[in-house]
Amino acid sequence: MNILISSCLLGEEVRYDGKSSSSSIKNKELFLKIIKEFNVFSICPELSGGLTTPRPPAEIIKEKVITTNGLDVTYMFNQGALNTLSYCKKNSIKIAILKSNSPSCGNSKIYDGTFSSVLKEGEGVTAKLLRKNEIKVFNENQLEQFCDLIKSNLK
């Protein structure tokens, strides 16, 4: 089975701050097992959309994605989401493990747009587009739920 995993979770230094997010994975043993058992495809929607590393942090504010210095990067985030969806369709990917809380990849919580590290319920641009296209989206803290879905589909 093909799955998509955010590049930053796989150790690639593509986050806005030029680092990876592999340290945010709580159950590393299960994550490594998933990587071994599935055909893993990776992408960073933000880089795919034309942003660079490092880059200013961005948050969703009233349906727009704005950086800390006030730049509207909504177009790049939307383009990255479209590129990611196309990549999933091309590779028959129906399940993704994306970076939690990200304005691109967050699937249940995102930062509230005040740049004060406050989370709110919501989805990132890519996570929302994938979900709307029937791709199941999990984050690095939902690996057990990912495995439960796989098991239930095998029955």
**Which tokens hold the place of 105?**
């990849």
Range of the domain at 30: 2-154
Region class of 26: left (phi > 0), else alpha (psi between -120 and 50), else beta: alpha
Cβ count within 10 A of residue 145: 12
- In angstroms, what CA-CA distances link 78 with 34, 51, 73, 118, 143? 28, 11, 9, 23, 26
Domain count, the chain: 1
pLDDT category, 145, cuts 50, 70, 90? very high
Please indicate whether residue 155 or residue 121 has the higher confidence score (pLDDT): 121
pTM greater than 0.75 (yes/no): yes
Identify whether the C-beta of residue 22 lies closer than 8 Å to the C-beta of residue 11.
yes
Residue 20: count other Cβ atoms within 10 Å of its Cβ: 18
* Under 8 Å between Cβ of 31 and 146: no
Work out the average pLDDT over 113-139: 98
Phi-psi region of 39 (alpha: psi -120 to 50; beta: other; left: phi over 0): beta
* Distance of alpha carbon 111 from alpha carbon 101, whole angstroms: 6
Residue 155: pLDDT band (50, 70, 90) is low
Taking every pair of C-alpha atoms in the chain, what is the biggest distance, in angstroms?
50
